[in-house]
Amino acid sequence: MSNPWIRLYRDSLHNPKIVSLNDRQHRIWHNLLLVADDAGELPRVRDIACHLRLSIAEVEQLLAELVEAELIDMAIDGPRKFRLHDWATHQYISDTSTDRVRKFRNKNKASNDETFHETERNVSVTPPESETETDTDTYGLRSFPSAAREDQKFKNGFRKDEGRGQDRLVRKAEGLGIPVSEITAAVNRHKAKNRPAYFTKLCVEWLLANKLPGLDEKIIRDALWGTDDQYAVVMQLLVRVAA
């Protein structure tokens, strides 16, 4: 486990999956975020029990409850393994200032090496290692979709200046309990020209079919794209339905 921190979103305050947890479940879920490795995978049940100072039986019961709440995924095939739901979507690796400094230095180094190579042709210059894009979702189980890869495909449907809007849209959809990974995969299969619009359309249809039948579609669209107050209106409706 190399990353010393995790992301915690303000939207989680209104996420029906989290709001419906009791105090103990919420505390355990939060602590499991800290126990998970950089891919969101949890260690063996025995190790979790050691980390949380609980018995193995207590951990198994709590894991079952969090799987039922759709906050933890359990591998169906092979050995029993657990992973935090949609980890790659929320705990993505950002471009830090250290990364930018390193890239800047590599760029300057490459430029200096090229100049040196032109003046001293008898010296062999090794170019710097290239930056390669990696898939952060390394769990490797068929029962867990590659959320990082699907999310990257979805992002490709946005202009560069819309990147933050896409992140906010996906976080809001997840906060409303929408299965983001499934919706994103459907958008990619459809190959829609306007991916944000099609993503929104599928989110609205899913909520109307599964959570809030009869609600005005515009209210849901405003919640996904509008202000926090508009988002809170739909969230309050979901909490009432779940109660």
**pLDDT digit of tens for each residue in the chain (243 aa)?**
578 888 888 888 888 888 889 999 999 999 999 999 988 999 999 999 999 999 999 999 999 899 988 899 987 666 778 999 988 888 877 655 455 556 666 666 555 555 445 544 443 444 444 433 333 333 333 333 344 454 555 555 554 444 456 788 888 888 888 988 889 888 888 877 888 889 999 999 999 999 888 888 999 998 898 888 888 888 888 877 765
Domain ranges of the chain: 1-87, 100-128, 146-243
Cα separation values, 50 from 30, 58, 60, Å? 16, 11, 13
Element (H, E) at 152: helix 147-155
Q: Minimal CA–CA distance to 5: which of 71, 92, 84?
A: 92
For residue 138, what pLDDT is reported?
31
C-alpha atoms less than 13 angstroms from C-alpha of 129 in its C-beta half-sphere: 4
The Cα–Cα gap between 195 and 189 comes to 11
Q: What is the crossing angle of helices 228-242 and 163-175, to 10°? A: 20
What CATH architecture is 1-87?
A: Orthogonal Bundle (1.10)
Can you give the pLDDT at residue 96?
A: 52
Enumerate the β-bridge partners of residue 82: 74
Rounded CA separation 40/82 (Å): 9
Instruction: Show Cβ contacts of residue 19 under 8 Å, excluding neighbours closer than 6 positions.
Output: 239, 242
